[in-house]
């Protein structure tokens, strides 16, 4: 397999959080297929003359079909182009990486994955908290708040998510967190469990809100349609270090 697609992780949006390898891949690319959240100043690292193709997916907005993205990756790589698939956050965490890898494998095209900084780590860092602590938070769990239809997944492990001694991070959960919080409380989590809402990480409009799961659920239930990316942290460490 002589063709190669580089899956490059862009982080949450701050170009200073790109890895050196990610920046080098962008400088070498002939074609960059990028997500909406992996655009802006991140694309300044692409070489002049590179073909920049928007293929992002955003809830409630017109988005590129996954089959179309797969076809572009295959066609560009088969034509001999150096292809970067630029994904927000870390490409391997809720980034639809599996579908694109499977398409490349079926087409006989090689690939590499360049890891990056996921928004859970950035949210915790900007809030001045760790994600773990030896005696009170020895487990971190990442969960998606949305299934393929944009609804709260039906098969979540509620006992694990309601564990007060873990740190839980919810991706893509702005619309579904009210229902998720209700299930957490139903399974024994205290309504005043600390929560951290982190929105637009790495951008000028970044916002961090320290609250509780019950109050955050109430606020999000009254909010309009989700238009910005956010992560929600709750559990043992979410409310510390105000």
> pLDDT band for position 236 (50/70/90)?
confident
Q: Name the token pair of 152.
A: 């709260």
Distance of alpha carbon 182 from its chain centroid, rounded? 23
Question: What b/e string do you get for 131-142 counting C-beta neighbours within 10 Å, with b at 16 or more?
Answer: beeeeebeebee
Note the pLDDT of residue 102: 97
* Per-residue pLDDT reduced to its tens digit, 93-141: 998 899 999 999 999 999 999 999 999 999 999 999 999 988 778 899 9
The helix (H) or strand (E) run that includes residue 51 is strand 51-54
Using the predicted structure, report yes or no on whether residue 148 has a pLDDT greater than 90.
Answer: no
Using the predicted structure, report yes or no on whether residue 55 has a pLDDT greater than 80.
Answer: yes
- Residues marked as catalytic: 35, 57
> pLDDT band for position 2 (50/70/90)?
low
Give every strand in the sheet of 194-199, ordered side by side.
Answer: 140-144, 167-171, 230-235, 194-199, 207-212
Note the pLDDT of residue 1: 46
Phi, psi of 45 (to 5 degrees): -80, -15
* Per-residue pLDDT reduced to its tens digit, 38-48: 888 899 999 99
- Over residues 134-150, the mean pLDDT reads 88
Query: In angstroms, rounded to a whole number, what is the distance separating the alpha carbons of residues 76 and 55?
Result: 14
Check the CA dihedral 35-89-97-234 and report its sign.
Answer: negative
Q: Is the pTM of this model over 0.85?
A: yes
Using the predicted structure, report yes or no on whether residue 242 has a pLDDT greater than 70.
Answer: no
Pairwise pLDDT comparison (143 vs 95), residue with the higher score: 143
């Amino acid at each position: 397999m002589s063709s190669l697609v580089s899956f490059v992780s862009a982080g949450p949006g701050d170009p200073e959080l790109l890895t050196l390898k990610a920046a080098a891949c962008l400088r070498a690319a002939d074609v960059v297929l990028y997500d909406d959240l992996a655009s802006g100043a991140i694309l300044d690292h692409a070489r002049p003359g590179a073909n920049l193709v928007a293929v992002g997916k955003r809830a409630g907005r017109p988005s590129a079909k996954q089959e179309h993205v797969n076809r572009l990756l295959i066609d560009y790589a088969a034509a001999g182009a150096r292809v970067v698939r630029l994904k927000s956050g870390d490409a391997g965490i809720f980034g639809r990486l599996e579908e694109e890898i499977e398409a490349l494998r079926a087409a006989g095209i090689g690939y590499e994955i360049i890891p990056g900084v996921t928004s859970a780590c950035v949210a915790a860092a900007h809030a001045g908290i760790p994600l773990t602590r030896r005696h009170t938070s020895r487990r971190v769990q990442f969960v998606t708040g949305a299934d393929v239809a944009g609804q709260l997944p039906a098969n979540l492990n509620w006992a694990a998510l309601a564990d007060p001694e873990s740190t839980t991070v919810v991706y893509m959960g702005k619309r579904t967190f009210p229902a998720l919080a209700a299930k957490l409380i139903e399974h024994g989590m205290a309504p005043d469990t600390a929560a951290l809402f982190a929105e637009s990480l790495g951008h000028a409009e970044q916002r961090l809100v320290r609250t509780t799961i019950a109050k955050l659920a109430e606020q999000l239930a009254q909010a309009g349609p989700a238009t910005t990316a956010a992560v929600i942290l709750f559990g043992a460490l979410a409310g510390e270090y105000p």
